[in-house]
Amino acid sequence: MESRNINLKHFKAKAAKKKKKYNTFLKGIHSRNNGKEINKMAVAFDKEAFQKIDCLSCGNCCKTMTPTFTTADIKRISKHLNLTVAAFTDKYLERDKKDWVNKQQPCQFLGSDNKCSIYEIRPVDCAGFPHTHKNNPGFVGASSVNRDFFWRCPIVYHVVDSIFDKVVNQK
Ligand code: SF4
Ligand code: SF4
């Protein structure tokens, strides 16, 4: 059976080679007339990616990006840590325009084993990441986000790579 482990160094090198091509593809994806079909493909390829890839061997999202924390996330996590909301935000978060985001990367809750120490109560944004399974706004509607993610997240890369193969290479 093929290994589900990600070698981040290899992944980054592979993604760098396709960065320009897939960036151009995603930029122009709105003008394709089979958007609904592409959205459906994304949901299926997202499922396939999670079967092929073990996130615990990667952790690159938690290492290099920040989730957005909703008010409910902040209240829940503060309570769990026995901190006031003010103490929690002061210690860990900062504003990015209107959003609350982590001050530091990697995330303070990421362990050396790539496990999240607040997994059960993690931000909703983390629980849904990388969002390629979502129907709203769908893969085409989220193309600018996917342009930002595909070279950092092996799951998104798999989805983009597979859709490109179907739509452009007609494989
Ligand atoms: S969601 Fe993507 S970036 Fe995050 S751990 Fe899984 S494969 Fe890696
Ligand atoms: S809260 Fe957990 S899942 Fe979210 S970025 Fe931090 S370590 Fe990763």
Query: Does 66 sit in the ligand 1 pocket, CB within 6 Å?
Result: no
- The model's pTM is 0.95
**CA–CA gap between residue 82 and residue 119 (Å, rounded):** 16
Take atom 2 of ligand 1 and give the residue whose Cα is closest. 153
User: Is the predicted pLDDT of residue 2 greater than 90, yes or no?
Assistant: no
Atom of ligand 1 nearest to the CA of 129: 1
Confidence of residue 135 (pLDDT cuts 50, 70, 90): confident
Looking at every residue in the chain, the average pLDDT score rounds to 96
Query: Does 106 sit in the ligand 1 pocket, CB within 6 Å?
Result: no
Q: Lowest mean pLDDT of 21-25, 31-35, 63-67, 123-127, name the range.
A: 31-35
**CA–CA gap between residue 104 and residue 63 (Å, rounded):** 9
Ligand nearest to the CA of 146: 1
> In the β-sheet with 99-102, what is the strand arrangement from edge to edge?
68-69, 99-102, 93-96
Residue pair 45/159 in contact by the 8 Å Cβ criterion: yes
Average of per-residue pLDDT across 70-97:
98
Whether the CA torsion 27, 67, 160, 113 is positive or negative: it is: positive
Q: Give the residues surrounding ligand 2 with Cβ less than 6 Å away.
A: 62, 67, 107, 109-110, 116, 118, 122-123, 126
Mutation choice for ligand 2 from 118, 124, 149, CB with most ligand atoms inside 8 A: 118
Average of per-residue pLDDT across 34-38:
94
Mutation choice for ligand 2 from 107, 112, 117, 152, CB with most ligand atoms inside 8 A: 107
pLDDT at site 148: 96
Confidence of residue 136 (pLDDT cuts 50, 70, 90): confident
**CA–CA gap between residue 141 and residue 39 (Å, rounded):** 9
Atom of ligand 2 nearest to the CA of 59: 8
Counting residues of the chain whose pLDDT is more than 70, the rounded percentage is 99
DSSP string spanning 66-120? -PEEPHHHHHHHHHHTT--HHHHHHHHEEEETTEEEESSSS-TTB-TTS-BTTGG
